[in-house]
Amino acid sequence: MANELSPEDDLRLNVLLAGEVHAVRIDEGAMTLHALTAQGEAKVVLHRNCRTDLYVQRVRELLGGHAMGSPGGYPVHLMRWTSMGQSSAKNLQAMLLLGEPEAVKSVAQAPTLSDELARRAWWALPTMDVARYMLSHALVRTGSMGQVLADFLIEHLPFDEDPIQAMNSVRAVVGAGFLDPAKGAQLWAKAKHRPHYFLGFLELRPDDLPAETERPIPQPLAQSAAAGDPWGQRFVRCYGGSGQSFLRASALVLEKPPAAEAVYLMLDILGRYFCGADALVIQGDWPENLQLEALAMVALGRLSHADAAPILNKTTAVGPLMRRHLEPLFKPVLAHIQLLRGQS
End-to-end CA distance of the chain: 80
Residue 92 and residue 49 in one domain:
yes
Q: Quote the CA–CA distance of 71 and 211 in Å, as a whole number.
A: 58
Enumerate the H helices of 35-114 as residue ranges: 52-68, 77-83, 89-95, 101-109
What's the pLDDT at 84?
43
Residue 164 and residue 93 in one domain:
no
Summarised one tens digit per residue, pLDDT across range 133-174 is: 999 999 999 999 999 999 999 999 999 999 999 999 999 999
Q: Quote the CA–CA distance of 213 and 223 in Å, as a whole number.
A: 21
Residue 222 and residue 329 in one domain:
yes
What's the pLDDT at 280?
82
Name 23's bridge partners.
36
Is the residue at 309 inside a domain? yes
Residue 214 and residue 326 in one domain:
yes
Residue 36 and residue 75 in one domain:
yes
Tens digit of pLDDT per residue, the chain (344 long)? Answer: 446 899 999 999 999 999 999 999 999 999 999 999 999 999 999 999 999 999 999 999 999 888 877 655 555 545 444 444 446 788 899 999 999 999 999 999 998 899 999 999 999 999 999 999 999 999 999 999 999 999 999 999 999 999 999 999 999 999 999 888 898 999 999 999 999 999 999 999 999 999 889 999 988 888 889 999 899 999 999 999 999 999 999 999 999 999 999 999 999 999 999 999 988 877 667 888 899 999 999 999 999 999 999 999 999 998 899 999 999 999 999 999 999 999 87
What's the pLDDT at 67?
87
Residue 214 and residue 331 in one domain:
yes
Q: How many domains does the chain have?
A: 3
Element (H, E) at 23: strand 21-27
Q: Quote the CA–CA distance of 43 and 34 in Å, as a whole number.
A: 4
Residue 211 and residue 189 in one domain:
no
Q: Which domain holds residue 134?
A: 126-202
Which residue, of 135, 170, 202, is where some domain finishes?
Answer: 202
**CA 89, chain centre distance (Å):** 24
Q: How many C-beta atoms lie closer than 10 Å to residue 339's C-beta?
A: 17
Residue 197 and residue 225 in one domain:
no
Is the residue at 121 inside a domain? no
pTM equals 0.86
What's the pLDDT at 4?
87
What's the pLDDT at 85?
45
Residue 308 and residue 216 in one domain:
yes
Which residue, of 89, 112, 135, is where some domain finishes?
Answer: 112
Residue 134 and residue 245 in one domain:
no
What's the pLDDT at 89?
80
Is the residue at 117 inside a domain? no
- Bin 181: left if φ > 0, else alpha if -120 < ψ < 50, else beta: alpha
Is the residue at 315 inside a domain? yes
Residue 314 and residue 243 in one domain:
yes
Residue 189 and residue 304 in one domain:
no
Q: Is 43 helix (H, G, I), strand (E, B) or coil?
A: strand
Angle, helices 163-176/181-191, rounded to nearest 10 degrees: 160
Question: Contact, 22 vs 92, CB < 8 A?
Answer: no
Is the residue at 146 inside a domain? yes
Is the residue at 197 inside a domain? yes
Is the residue at 308 inside a domain? yes
